[in-house]
Amino acid sequence: MFQKILIANRGEIALRVLRACKELGIQTVVVHSTADSDAMHVRLADESVCIGPPPSRESYLNIHQIVAACEITGADAVHPGYGFLSENAKFADILAAHNITFIGPSGDHIRIMGDKIEAKRTAKRLGIPVVPGSDGAISDDKEAKRVAAEIGYPVIIKASAGGGGRGMKVARTEADLEVALQTAKSEAGAAFGDDAVYIEKYLEKPRHIELQVFGDGAGHGVHFGERDCSLQRRHQKVWEEANSPALNAEERARIGGICAKAIADLGYSGAGTIEFLYENGEFYFIEMNTRLQVEHPVTEAITGIDLVHEQIRVASGGGLSVRQEDIKFNGHAIECRINAEDPRTFTPSPGTITHFHTPGGLGIRVDSGVYSGYRIPPYYDSLIGKLIVHGRNRVECMMRLRRALDEFVVDGIKTTLPLFRDLVGNPDIANGDYDIHWLEEYLAKED
Ligand code: ADP
């Protein structure tokens, strides 16, 4: 087991990882920018190292400084959290070259999944269902037209290097296709320095359903069920739940089995999430994230398994603590992402939190790095906390969520709490009846 882990992140996830380390009796080092000197993760860690000024590029993304912090403090492993360097293959390689363990998969696996064409090809080879489309990059209009005619309109053009929903264009007819192709290519070139694009069938009303998987790096893979993250705004997840209201136990076991086998065959190590669009009973792979996800607590709530403990065990060579048959799904969990944003316009609302009171009671978990009197710096993303609620079934979970949202107090800044208070009373949400467009349509109606 590791002696000392350096946490290369900030906010609620730094605290989340810190808690797991403390439980396992592992010493902790956190790194922070000058804007985060009074952050909770800095206060609670055994050691802290200031690695630079506020901009992420000069601090949380500064590989040199982070490696130097490992060497100075004698950390033998790094947990990258999510975002920042968590899916940076070069960072994983550099740590390996310094004999420091990256708590995550190999640089090569990160690289494959970071290239969407390569990821899709790999998924298909491993027996994961993918969206019908071109085999690789599309070179010209003629090829695009041929593929589109084959799979049928509407189609979507996507950037191979894509991320954050950028560089995607929908074409509903052949007449739209040339323009969509050109726009997608130039957007991808400008945003990612790589204009490779591919084409696939556009699904009209899918849900976003993702499978939590784990590999032990020695040829074993398991799945921890799915999360439904269909409630999104601008491709950002807002509300996540496990299980998905749309799946039954047989469907879960079937797609879970496919994913676990794929992970085993790939020789993958650590946590991963295989994301699908789901429509009319069919799954369509869209991408794989090679890290812990923001929404991992809903999976922890229904399985009772600490996924960060598992990550640390696997990275230290101790294997997984569970076999597939040990993983049971109990009840229902929902996570609300609480952002320091105006709940109507979603513009960031940094500033000082004058009063912070979190709900409690059975089935309630709040993961947050903030406290009363904390000043939210304007440099980073606006997530200030996550409310995770568990109940024996979805109805109980929703009752408890409504009560917990009423108890939650954040004064001094604007937050997205009022949005969740509206959503929890909405009949479509109560029925679990929503797809990936539902939230945008709902917000457009409210305006
Ligand atoms: P990114 O990495 O940029 O987030 P994804 O491939 O994960 O790109 O897709 C982001 C979102 O775009 C999906 O959650 C979905 O809303 C939409 N999308 C992507 N592919 C399709 C498709 N084939 N049909 C319909 N919507 C799609």
What are the DSSP calls for 210-260, one per residue? EEEEEEESSS-EEEEEEEEEEEEETTEEEEEEES-TT--HHHHHHHHHHHH
pTM above 0.85, yes or no: yes
To the query of whether residue 227 is one of the catalytic residues in this protein, the response is no
Residue ranges around ligand 1 (CB below 6 Å):
131, 156, 162-166, 168, 200-203, 208, 235, 277, 286-287, 436
Pairwise CA distance, residues 132 & 208, whole Å: 17
Spacing, Cα 286 to ligand 1 middle (Å) = 7
- Is residue 109 one of the residues assigned to a domain? no
**What is the average pLDDT across 372-401?**
97
**What is the average pLDDT across 323-343?**
98
Please, which residues have CB within 8 angstroms of residue 97's CB and are 6 or more apart in sequence? none
- Is residue 290 one of the residues assigned to a domain? yes
Q: Which domain holds residue 38?
A: 4-84
Structural domain total, the chain:
3
Task: List, edge to edge, every strand of the sheet that includes 169-171.
Answer: 169-171, 155-159, 197-201
Q: Does 76 have pLDDT greater than 80?
A: yes
Tokens representing residue 30 in the block: 């956190």
196 and 285 part of one domain: no
CATH at residue 152: 3.30.1490.20
181 and 213 part of one domain: no
Q: What is the pLDDT of residues 269-311, one digit of tens each?
A: 999 999 999 999 999 999 999 999 999 999 999 999 999 999 9
Asked whether the bond before 80 is cis by omega within 30 degrees of 0, the reply is no
Q: Which among 273, 286, 287, 294 is the best mutation to test ligand 1's pocket, defined by most ligand atoms within 8 Å of the CB? A: 286
Q: Confirm if 230 and 434 have CB atoms less than 8 A apart.
A: yes
Q: What was the pLDDT predicted at 328? A: 98
Q: Which of 59, 77, 47, 68 is nearest to 9 (CA)?
A: 59
Atom of ligand 1 nearest to the CA of 133: 23
Active-site hit among 207, 291, 313, 394: 291
Spacing, Cα 206 to ligand 1 middle (Å) = 10
Determine how β-strand 269-279 pairs with β-strand 351-352: unpaired
Q: Does 388 have pLDDT greater than 80?
A: yes
* Percentage with pLDDT > 70 across the chain: 100
233 and 356 part of one domain: yes
Question: Terminal CA-to-CA distance of the chain, rounded, Å?
Answer: 53
Q: What was the pLDDT predicted at 161? A: 87
Q: Which of 361, 364, 429 is nearest to 394 (CA)?
A: 429
Measured in residues, the chain has a length of 447
Report which residue type is found at 309: H
Q: Does 164 have pLDDT greater than 90?
A: no
Atom of ligand 1 nearest to the CA of 162: 3
- Is residue 112 one of the residues assigned to a domain? no
Spacing, Cα 354 to ligand 1 middle (Å) = 39
Spacing, Cα 304 to ligand 1 middle (Å) = 30
Q: What was the pLDDT predicted at 366? A: 98
CATH at residue 342: 3.30.470.20
- Is residue 95 one of the residues assigned to a domain? no
